[in-house]
Structure 1
Amino acid sequence: MSSRLAITIGLGVACLGGYIAYGLHWSPRAEQERDEGTLRVALPVPVQLVMTGGDRYLAANLNVFRAIMVTTKNPDPETVAVQAQLQQQASWFNPAHEDNYYLAAATLAWQGEAQAAQIVLHNATGGRPADMYPPFFYGFNQQYFFGDYAGAATSIRTAAERVEGNNKLALQAMAARWAENMDNPKQALNILHAMASQTAHAGLRGYLQSRAARVEGLLALRAAAESYRKRKGQPIHSLNDLVPSELAELPADPTNLGYAVNLQGVPILVTRRPAQTQP
């Protein structure tokens, strides 16, 4: 918890009492909230500003404080929805609020409110221009929850621009891996080539070039598979169907992960090595 939040919690106790009395105490749902550690009410933004004397930073802290104080280990959907609303409001009051974006990344995204978490993280990315973590968490959510590898690669590259040394190289390598999983391999290839040309680190440049070569191999396989389909009137069942009718040999993958064929007969990238069996 940041020091600013800790300090303002004490200053905001009286205001929080008025906040609850005005917006919550009259409602049986408010009693349930206080008794069960749930969240049931999120007041409109103008009301919150009035209750905090126009101090948007205090309003943000109070919202985050309420979200942190949820004690249920498995919150019900209504609690999570109100928490998401509170944290989005806090993000509007103070986009740079550190506790808010950490809490959103750690809880909301995993409780069915990934879109709300992205709003908080997007605002924090702009509000904290030197902090790598908001764009990092935002990019992770893009690929994990939404399958947006292109956007994820861009976000991770933003995170990489905010750090130096090995952390920068690791993030750039992650962006490259996600870029190669984009739905459009040609676009992925362009991104990988651009990243390779922009880095001054020889090791990273070689890594990016190997990833680009892997995507080039995929493009060659897909072109050959499409030619096979048109000629035979049916999709391929394995990569071996392409040799020697379409290709003299299968392209080598510099990463040694290899290629495969999906159920539709389209070549795809293998993203992980098979687990080794114990002897």
Structure 2
Amino acid sequence: MLRNFNIPTASIALSGLLLFLYAVLMQSSDYKGSSLDSGGRVVIPAPILLFLYGGDRFFAANMETARLAATGVDFGQADMDYLVRAQAVVSELNPCHEDNYYLANGFLTWGGADQVGSSILKRAASCRFWDEYPAFFYGFNQFFFEKNLEQASLYLEMAARRSSQNAASFRKFAIMIRAEQIEDAELAIKFVESERDKSADAKLKDMLNKRVMRLKGLVLLRDAQRRFELLRGKKLESPEELLEAGLIDTLPDDPLRLGYEFIDHRFVLRQIKFSGAEEE
């Protein structure tokens, strides 16, 4: 005769919890086949973090930002994979998080993941209605990376309305963008240098300095292209022509090891492509 087994309530609860966590993990938009990046660091999806921290998304975002800041990064491909996933999770938990949007702009936007960085900034600009900086950063990125002058002007005007000290500068910038009077690479250097000089974080300061060097390499290439086209009276067809003409001795080194691209007769910063990382 079969015996009747009394399954403890705790076992049922535990089984249900495990099934719940597994289902959330598999259905999470941040789950790409593994919760590990290529460097072996765990990136836990936002729904699971929310559950683990008792439903407090602000506390969960704070803890993940602290963990992110404490994690050493060398800014290779594996590190960028980790940063993209981790900072996107924090933004999902709390789009208002100040440290996250600021670090995303410094690390992601200028490190080859501009669409992901801009997505985080756009969320922050919407959430932090009193703060001019995410709107300004997003507007600048729309101008520099996307060449979307309408969106750039819109967010710079938003930043101006929120600012008491920088309103005139933001509006002047928006007007100049609409008039297409800005040499973008030179302006980008000044912008990143300003962010570097203001930063009290040694790691962020070093990373921004590398981005300044990267942008200076872009300026060097574009300047050589202008001289080539003036001398030859024709468009540059390939970067090798600059070397053959003796206008540069070698292609500039990129301290981020991403390099530059020559697209539609124009030098641009090479960007990292992330699956599913399109801007909202």
Work out which structure has the larger RCO, using CA pairs closer than 8 Å and 6 or more positions apart in sequence: 2
Q: TM-score, normalized by length of structure 2?
A: 0.49
Pair member with larger Rg:
1
